[in-house]
Structure 1
Amino acid sequence: MNRKSAYNNKELNNNKMSFTEHCNEIFNQAIRDYHVKDDVDTPISNPYDRDSIENRLYLKCWIDTVQWHYEDLIRDPHINPVDGMNLKHRIDRSNQDRTDLVEQIDSYFRQLFSDVTPLPDATINTESPAWAIDRLSILALKIYHMREQTERTDATPEHIARCKDKLAVLIEQQKDLSTAIDQLLDDIKAGRKYMKVYRQMKMYNDPATNPVLYKK
């Protein structure tokens, strides 16, 4: 059975955990689910209601996780050129899916805070909430895979020590980014900041703006 959303109203502060704690919980779940088979062709089994923010967060991290492993595969120096080109196309499609999903998550926040009137001195943030959450999803992946490196039995003690140091930095970065996102959401809710979302305009994906495509 699909799970209901815990964040389907405007009272974020009524929940026991912060929004980013909820995000990180879902991201970790998606990463664990993927690594059950650890195969880029594994179909997703999203456990959340289609219209919930949790569904979008789980899908976001699943896409990021699959793409993480695409990026590993395409760096094989012995990859067959045809396989490599096919994989490059899959990465391109994944990047577009990721961008589309970030915009969906921002649409959720715009609706969530639609009745907030910004204060006269309200300021704009350097990035929208969803693009910050995009970075949080990638951080969850970095932490998972860096932790894997610290647990290797076939690596040198020096490698393990370096990876432990990097893992500590990543965990600190995750904590700081989570705090910053929660503060941003609080500021938007209180009218201290306002959202302004620019849709991505990737010209190379558009046959009308990529000269390689429209000149053919």
Structure 2
Amino acid sequence: MISETANKIFQKAILDYHIFDQIDRPIENPYGENTLEHLLYLKCWIDTAQWHMEDVVRNPDIAPEEGLYWKRRIDQQNQVRTDTVEFIDSYYLNLFKNITPKNDAKVNSESPAWAIDRLSILALKIFHMEQETLRTDISEAHFSKCKEKLDILLEQRKDLSQSIDDLLADIQSGQKYMKVYRQMKMYNDPTMNPVLYGNPKS
């Protein structure tokens, strides 16, 4: 089951990151470069670093210049995240390239990699919500609120994991087929963002 593997790798990536808890610490990916495991670890590490960038930029005392710096870092990181998701989809497109879909096969509304993307983010939510329940400086009300949310997140992970495994099994058996739409983001492209290439109306 890919979800079981993914969840273990996500947990490892998150724990490895928090050994030093430094946004710019170079990644030490323990998995072979041309493997799905390598991509999954990379994906979650990118998400974890971005999570902490989002924390930093929300500091109410942050200087405007520093806030803009982090906003641009987050924007760049999000592009890297999107690229990595597309690498994972490319892995699955290649894996299933010889599968002939059945005549009544249907396309899923979400590709495998974008579902895995949500699973990675969910792993981060679970980790950080659990950290909230372990704090010693919180009220009983705060603990109860976080524990309730943690239970929901864990249930969500169980359901999403099953959905991902079912989707991949359906593609493998020809019940569904992959159709991937690249994100085609425009705002990072200097030839498509009018602010970057110069709006003739301005």
Return the TM-score normalized by structure 1.
0.91
Of 169, 172, 186 in structure 2, the residue corresponding to residue 186 of structure 1 is 169
1:86-107 Cα offsets, whole Å, 9 max, x none, are 1111101100000000000000
Q: Deviations over 1:128-162 (max 9, x none)?
A: 00000000000000000000001110010000000
- Give 1:47's aligned residue: 30
Name the SS of the counterpart of 1:207 in structure 2. Answer: coil
Alignment of 1:79-94 (within 5 A): 79-94=62-77
Distance 1:59 1:120 in 2: 36
Alignment partner, residue 153 of structure 2: 170
Cross-structure match for 1:4: none
Structure 2 gap ranges (5+) = none
Task: Tell me the equivalent position of 2:142.
Answer: 159
- Tell me which residue corresponds to 2:56: 73
Structure 1 Cα separation of the partners of residues 160 and 106 of structure 2: 19
Look up the equivalent residue of 1:179 and give its one-letter code: Q
Aligned: 1:115 with 2:98: yes
1:141-156 map, 5 Å: 141-156=124-139
Aligned equivalents of 1:113, 1:32: Cα separation in 2: 32
User: Where do residues 123-142 of structure 1 align in structure 2 (5 Å cutoff)?
Assistant: 123-142=106-125
Deviation for aligned residue 1:67: 0.3
Offset, 1:70: 0.3
Which residues of structure 1 form unaligned runs of 5+?
1-17
Question: In 2, distance between residues paired with 1:19 and 1:110?
Answer: 15
> What is the percentage of aligned positions where both structures have the same residue?
60
For residue 135 of structure 2, what is the amino acid of its counterpart?
Answer: R
| Distance (whole Å) between structure 2 residues aligned to residue 150 and residue 53 of structure 1 | 33
For residue 198 of structure 1, report the CA deviation from its aligned partner. Answer: 0.7
Find the aligned partners of 1:124 and 1:50 in 2 and give their Cα distance: 30
Q: Partners of 1:210 and 1:74 in 2: how far apart?
A: 24
Cα distance in 2 for residues equivalent to 1:25 and 1:112 = 22
User: TM-score under structure 2 normalisation?
Assistant: 0.97
